[in-house]
């Protein structure tokens, strides 16, 4: 018989026995065990995960390769592991993994205990579930031990992780690794702070540092706006160490991070680590706060969408949002004339001339902005918005009538499956029929029950929608958004991008009425900051019910509103 081997070494200190600390040793011992049993070990079926937590299931290359080898038929008949905890340290997922192997026809054996790991009988099921529970408890205890050790280091002012940009790791004799200022990197930190305080954007600071040949932080391949933002927010540069802002957790079978409440943070003064003075720190964070205040937000304070740096820096409402209907390039803002009047024009025409695009029409910024904002304000009329949402809700509720009937059918099928399972179990206990045939039918019924249960859960999770209340909420939100549109260019740009499904297409026209642009676009109410509407828009087939067409007659070019260059 062909035997496969699976070996795993964990990332934490829960694996205290020597067998678990080396995947090489596990593979050697498993191979010896298989040969002693008369099995053949094929090197293609030796699966290894090194430095992978027992609670990690998604990003586990060796284990995922093992599961892939089971389809369509497993090429091996037995899987050898050192013990159950090598498969995993999860009370639910580990027994499920053993069940998947057994249902594929693969026996699981532990070479340490020389016993099967199985769910096929009562004693094996009890042993597997108990050992999974014990392994899960040990994993949690190990994680708590790790956290306690890191907390002791943080309170002692020692390093608790990888090196922070601007510092080097060094030992001072107390048994801990401490951070000390690296003067070369500290100079780069001061440059970044000074550039931002003097008015440069985050991306501008990144470009300046790159141009000066300043090496980026170790974890970043190059300087970027995000890397600069993280650097400007790091309190260690003002002589303060903060630890415990985030907590590592397992979610969906993989590692994730959860933000802790500020009351749970550990903060300690560290004057020896100061790189920037209080005045520079205050100037930078005053500007960061001012920039953050320009972002459009929901009523609960969260950002409404994902603002871009261009929204903050651009003085033009439609630059990069409006598009030329002739060539598809952006309309961008540019200053013209002795009075430096702002205009919009096709960027391709601007860069390549008539060969790039035949549209040479320029229109003054205030004229096109006013027309676009006027159309958006009318589209955000609370009565129009409420009526659109009511229509979408009515369509969705009509579909849900079918979902109610489907739920009743699924519930009835589950009842029939349960009855068949009881009869099969009774037959297995009484010895009626072939045991293997009964087990096969029972597995089929269990699979059907799982599928029906999942479908029933999905149907039950669909929230009930109060159409009238939802329409009122969206109408109120639309009224709030209308007020933002004309208040601040940065906020208005964010709102325009959220309301448009695609770009604003501007078509030049030249007739008896004069020169100008007519525009067309498709807008949506889905992103007004009301979560129920976002779910409604995402519900299959009903996205269009939350959309509205936007168009206008040409915005005409009065003298000297527009001209041909």
60-103 residue pLDDT tens: 899 999 989 988 889 999 999 999 889 988 888 888 889 889 98
Range among 252-261, 290-299, 421-430 with highest mean pLDDT value: 252-261
Q: Please check whether residues 234 and 252 belong to one and the same domain.
A: yes
- 125, 142, 159 — which closes off a domain? 142
The answer on 492 and 362 residing in a single domain is yes
pLDDT average, residue stretch 302-307? 53
Same-domain status, 17 and 56: yes
Least confident residue range of 193-202, 306-315, 371-380:
306-315
Report which secondary-structure segment, H or E, holds 484: helix 467-485
> Are 347 and 434 in the same domain?
no
Same domain as 501, residue 446 = no
Residue 156: inside a domain:
no
The per-residue pLDDT for 133 is 82
Region 484-498: mean pLDDT is 71
Same-domain pairing of 459 and 474: no
Per-position DSSP letters for 27-82, written without gaps between them: HHHHHHHHHHTTPEEEEEEEEEE-S--TT--SS-HHHHHHHHHTSSS-S-SEEEES
- The residue-averaged pLDDT of 389-402 equals 61
137 & 171 share domain? no
pTM: 0.50
Q: Confirm whether 149 is domain-assigned.
A: no
pLDDT confidence band for 59 (50 / 70 / 90)? confident
Residue 514 has pLDDT above 70, yes or no: yes
pLDDT tens, residue by residue, 183-233: 999 999 999 999 999 988 888 899 999 999 998 888 888 898 889 999 999
Do 332 and 263 fall within a single domain? no
Query: Does residue 155 belong to any structural domain of this protein?
Result: no
Picking from 265, 293, 321, the residue at the C-terminal end of a domain is 293
Does 285 score more than 50 pLDDT? yes
Residue 97 counted as domain residue: yes
Q: Average of pLDDT values for 387-396? A: 63
Question: Where in the sequence is the domain holding 404, given as residue range(s)?
Answer: 400-464
**Is 377 among the domain residues?**
yes
Tens digits of residue pLDDT in 234-265: 988 998 888 777 777 767 777 777 777 878 78
Taking the C-alpha atoms of residue 542 and residue 402, their distance in angstroms, rounded to an integer, is: 15
Q: Does residue 154 fall inside a structural domain?
A: no
Number of domains in the chain: 4
DSSP 303: B
Residue 175: which CATH number? Answer: 3.90.1750.20
d(CA 279, CA 30): 64
State the pLDDT confidence band at 266, using cuts at 50, 70 and 90: confident
- Least confident span in 22-31, 42-51, 126-135, 221-230: 126-135
Task: Kindly state whether residues 375 and 320 are assigned to the same domain.
Answer: yes
Assigned domain for 212 exists? yes
């Amino acid at each position: 018989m062909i035997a496969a081997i699976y070996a795993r070494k964990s990332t934490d200190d829960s694996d205290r026995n020597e067998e678990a600390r080396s995947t090489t040793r596990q593979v050697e011992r498993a191979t010896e065990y298989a040969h002693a049993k008369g099995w053949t070990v094929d090197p293609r079926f030796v699966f290894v995960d090194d430095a992978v937590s027992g609670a990690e299931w998604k990003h586990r290359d060796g284990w995922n390769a093992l599961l892939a080898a089971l389809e369509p038929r497993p090429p091996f008949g037995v899987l050898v592991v050192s013990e159950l905890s090598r498969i995993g340290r999860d009370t639910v997922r580990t027994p499920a993994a053993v069940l998947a192997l057994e249902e594929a026809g693969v026996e699981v054996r532990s070479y340490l205990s020389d016993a099967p790991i199985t769910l096929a009988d009562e004693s094996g099921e009890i042993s597997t579930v108990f050992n999974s529970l014990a392994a899960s408890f040990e994993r949690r205890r190990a994680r708590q031990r790790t956290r306690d050790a890191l907390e002791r280091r943080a309170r002692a002012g020692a390093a608790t992780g990888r090196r922070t940009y601007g510092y080097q790791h060094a030992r001072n004799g107390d048994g801990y690794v401490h951070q000390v200022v690296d003067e070369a990197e500290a100079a780069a930190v001061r440059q970044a702070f000074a550039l931002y305080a003097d008015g440069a954007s985050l991306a501008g600071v990144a470009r300046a540092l790159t141009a000066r040949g300043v090496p980026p932080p170790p974890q970043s391949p190059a300087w970027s706006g995000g890397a600069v933002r993280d650097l400007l927010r790091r309190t260690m540069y003002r002589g303060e160490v903060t630890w415990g802002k985030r907590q590592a957790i397992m979610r969906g079978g993989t590692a994730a991070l959860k933000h802790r409440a500020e009351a749970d943070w550990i903060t300690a003064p560290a004057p020896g680590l100061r790189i920037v003075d209080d005045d520079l720190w205050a100037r930078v964070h005053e500007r960061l706060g001012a920039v953050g205040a320009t972002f459009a937000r929901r009523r609960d304070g969260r950002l409404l969408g994902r603002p871009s740096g261009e929204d903050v820096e651009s003085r033009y409402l439609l630059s990069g949002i409006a598009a030329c209907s002739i060539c598809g390039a952006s309309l961008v803002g540019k200053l013209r004339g002795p009075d430096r009047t702002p205009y919009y024009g096709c960027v391709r025409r601007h860069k390549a001339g008539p060969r790039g695009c035949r549209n040479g029409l320029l229109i003054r910024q205030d004229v096109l902005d006013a027309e676009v904002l006027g159309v958006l304000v009318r589209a955000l009329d609370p009565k129009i918005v409420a009526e659109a949402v009511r229509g979408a809700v009515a369509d969705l509720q009509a579909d849900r009538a079918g979902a109610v009937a489907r739920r009743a059918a699924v519930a009835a099928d589950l009842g029939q499956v349960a009855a068949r399972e009881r009869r099969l179990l009774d037959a297995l206990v009484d010895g009626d029929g072939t045991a293997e045939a009964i087990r096969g039918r029972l597995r089929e019924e269990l699979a059907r029950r799982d599928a029906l249960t999942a479908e029933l859960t999905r149907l039950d999770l669909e929230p009930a929608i109060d159409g009238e209340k939802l329409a009122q909420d969206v109408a109120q939100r639309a009224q709030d958004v209308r007020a933002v549109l004309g208040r601040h260019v940065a906020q208005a740009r964010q709102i325009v991008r959220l309301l448009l499904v695609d770009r604003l297409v501007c078509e030049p026209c030249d007739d008896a009425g004069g020169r100008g642009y007519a525009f067309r676009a498709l807008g949506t109410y889905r992103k007004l900051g009301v979560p129920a509407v976002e779910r409604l828009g995402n519900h299959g087939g009903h996205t269009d019910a939350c959309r509205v067409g936007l168009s206008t007659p040409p915005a005409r070019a009065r003298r000297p509103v527009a001209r041909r260059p």
